[in-house]
Amino acid sequence: MKDDLVKEHIINSSVAVFKKLGFDKVTMDDIAKAANKGRSTLYYYFKNKHEVFEQVAEMEYLSIIEPAKAKIKKSNNIEENLRFYNEIKLKSLIDKTKEYTFLLEDIRQDFNIAHSLFMKLRHIENSIFQEILTWAIHKKEIAPINQENRQFLAMTMVTAYSGLEKEMLLYGIIENMSVRLDWLVNILIKGLKYDQ
C-alpha cells in the first residue's frame, strides 16, 4: 500500500517536470527533486525516466477519457451517449494538447510509448462502447446483436475513433473533427436501427 502511494506521488510530481521540459530534457534528478525523493528511491520504483513518462502519459490520457465516460448514462439514447462521449473526449484531447504540448510531442516521437498507451486504453474504450450498445439493445433502439458481434462492433468503433484521434495527435488537427464525428455516429446509428 505504501509502495503504491509513493509510486503515485512520484508520477504525479513528475507531470509538471515533463510539461515544463519535455521528455528529452528531463533527467531522473529532475523527477527526484520534483517528488522530493532521493535517486535511490526513484530507481526502486522505476528503471528509468522512460518508465516514469509512460505512467505519466497513461495518467494524462485517462484524464481525457474519464470526463467523457462520466457523461454516458443508461437513460440517454444511443445517439446521445455516442455524441457526448466523443465530443467531450475530443474537447478534452484538444485542451490537453494546448496545456501539455510536450506530452504529445514526446508520444509522437516514441512509437513504443504511443502503441503501448493506445493498446492499454483500447481495452477501456471497448468496455465503454459495449456498454452503450448493450443499453441500446435492451431499450430496443437498435436491432439485437449477439455478444460476439457486439464485442466486434465495439472494437470496430474504438478502432475508427482512435484512428481519427491518432491522425489528429500524430499529424495535426483534422478539419471540422466534431462535425466528422457526428457524421460517423449518424452513419453507425442508421446502420444499427431497424423498423419495428
Q: What's the grid cell of residue 44?
A: 526502486
CB 56 within 8 A of CB 18: yes
DSSP 140: T
Q: Which residue has the higher pLDDT, 176 or 25?
A: 25
Give 128 or 173, the one with higher predicted confidence. 128
Establish if 18 belongs to a structural domain: no
The answer to whether position 27 is within a domain reads: no
Res 77 pLDDT > 70:
yes
pLDDT beyond 60 at 195: no
- Report how many domains make up the chain: 1
Print the domain residue range for 105.
Answer: 57-192
Does residue 4 lie within any of the structural domains? no
- What is the rounded distance in angstroms from the CA atom of residue 47 to the CA atom of residue 73? 41
Q: What is the pLDDT of residue 179?
A: 77
- Residue pLDDT, tens place only, 114-158: 788 778 888 999 999 999 999 999 999 998 999 999 999 999 988
What is the pLDDT confidence band of residue 73, given thresholds at 50, 70 and 90? very high
Res 79 pLDDT > 50: yes
Q: In this structure, is residue 122 part of a structural domain?
A: yes
**Does residue 87 lie in a domain region?**
yes
Is 172 inside a domain boundary?
Answer: yes
